[in-house]
């Protein structure tokens, strides 16, 4: 049993009215039940409240809330009007949201809101973690209906303290479950090394030293998990970080990738547009992004 785990009391689901967005519902049902959380179903209307499209959206949000209540989830519908990203961020702050769950869909990863910069802005600014669920169509059954549907969690780490901020949420998700955790560090050889050094003995020693340092680091983190009765393994790989993370997740049939987000825009040193962005668009499984409180910058959004 894990004591003093991270609490997730308030969950927010922003929905755009699409069938794909409804794919988050099974995951919400599972997590809300595990944490006994209150769930807000948020729709963002466009223009006047009396517009037909807004009435349809309101009906959709209310119906979704009722469906969750039928599954014994404490669900509450909410409608706001205006700029989607700003409304999601304001609502997150007002209600002290602990977790935002958004659907990602489309070949490029996240549309219609993603391509309109909504999800990008939410990820970059929100202080609450964001769980992104990729789906092409809504599902009412599947892996999320099974106990411990996040049965194997991959936590990529870059060796920094800020890079570890997702770990408490990983602990919370696997608490009292049979889920396993894999810690992964990818050693990316510097691209500035001269070509005549590549493959030489000094280069091999350097890479070996980096891998050994990575293993020692991951072993220390793994021991923390083992002390809390969590099944954990760790591995160090070499290569391009994003590619290795995506490949490993696919090969090992990982069910969730949990990563930290940090930097001025929310995602650097693994910056949006680089490692995290590539993982977001390359992985076909849910991704949990947790932003470090140390990197929160309060500034006007409008």
Each residue of 150-203: pLDDT tens digit? 899 999 998 888 888 899 999 999 886 788 999 999 987 665 445 455 556 777
Between helices 167-174 and 25-35, what is the axis angle to 10°?
80
Tokens coding 175: 């608490």
Residues 209, 118: Cα–Cα separation, whole Å: 42
User: What residue ranges in the chain does DSSP mark as E strands?
Assistant: 10-15, 38-45, 74-81, 99-104, 130-134, 152-156, 180-187, 231-238, 256-261, 287-291
Residues 3, 254: Cα–Cα separation, whole Å: 25
What distance lies between CA 58 and its chain's CA centroid? 27
Residues 200, 117: Cα–Cα separation, whole Å: 45
* Beta strand pairing call for 130-134 and 287-291: antiparallel
Answering whether pTM is above 0.75, one says: yes
Each residue of 244-301: pLDDT tens digit? 999 999 999 999 999 987 544 444 444 444 677 788 878 889 999 998 765 554 444 4
Domain architecture of the chain: domains with CATH: 10-142 (3.40.50.620), 152-295 (3.40.50.620)
**Could you give the strand order of the β-sheet that contains 287-291, starting from the edge strand earlier in sequence?**
74-81, 38-45, 10-15, 99-104, 130-134, 287-291, 256-261, 152-156, 180-187, 231-238
């Amino acid at each position: 049993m894990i004591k003093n785990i991270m609490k997730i009391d308030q969950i927010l689901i922003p929905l755009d009215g699409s069938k794909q967005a409804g794919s988050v519902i099974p995951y919400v049902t599972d997590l809300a039940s595990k944490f006994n959380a209150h769930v807000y179903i948020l729709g963002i209307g466009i223009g006047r409240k009396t517009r037909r499209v807004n009435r349809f959206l309101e009906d959709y949000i209310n119906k979704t809330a009722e469906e969750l209540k039928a599954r014994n989830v404490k669900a509450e519908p909410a409608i706001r009007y205006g700029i989607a990203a700003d409304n999601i961020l304001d609502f997150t702050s007002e209600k002290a949201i602990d977790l935002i769950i958004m659907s990602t869909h489309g070949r490029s990863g996240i549309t219609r809101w993603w391509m309109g910069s909504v999800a990008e802005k939410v990820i970059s600014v929100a202080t609450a973690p964001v769980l992104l669920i990729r789906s092409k169509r809504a599902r009412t059954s599947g892996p999320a209906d099974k106990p411990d549907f996040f049965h194997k969690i991959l936590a990529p780490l870059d060796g920094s303290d800020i890079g570890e901020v997702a770990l408490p949420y990983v602990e919370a998700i696997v608490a009292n479950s049979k889920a396993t955790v894999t810690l992964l560090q990818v050693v990316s050889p510097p691209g500035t090394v001269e070509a005549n050094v590549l493959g030489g003995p000094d280069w091999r020693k350097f890479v070996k030293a980096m891998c050994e340092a990575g293993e020692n680091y991951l072993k220390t983190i793994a021991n923390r998990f083992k002390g809390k009765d969590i099944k954990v393994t760790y591995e160090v790989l070499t290569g391009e970080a994003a590619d290795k993370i995506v490949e490993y997740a696919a090969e090992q049939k990982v069910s969730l990738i949990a990563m930290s987000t940090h930097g001025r825009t929310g995602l650097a040193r693994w910056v949006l547009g680089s490692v995290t962005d590539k993982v977001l668009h390359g992985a076909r499984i849910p991704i949990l992004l947790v932003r470090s409180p140390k990197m929160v910058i309060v500034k006007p959004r409008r």
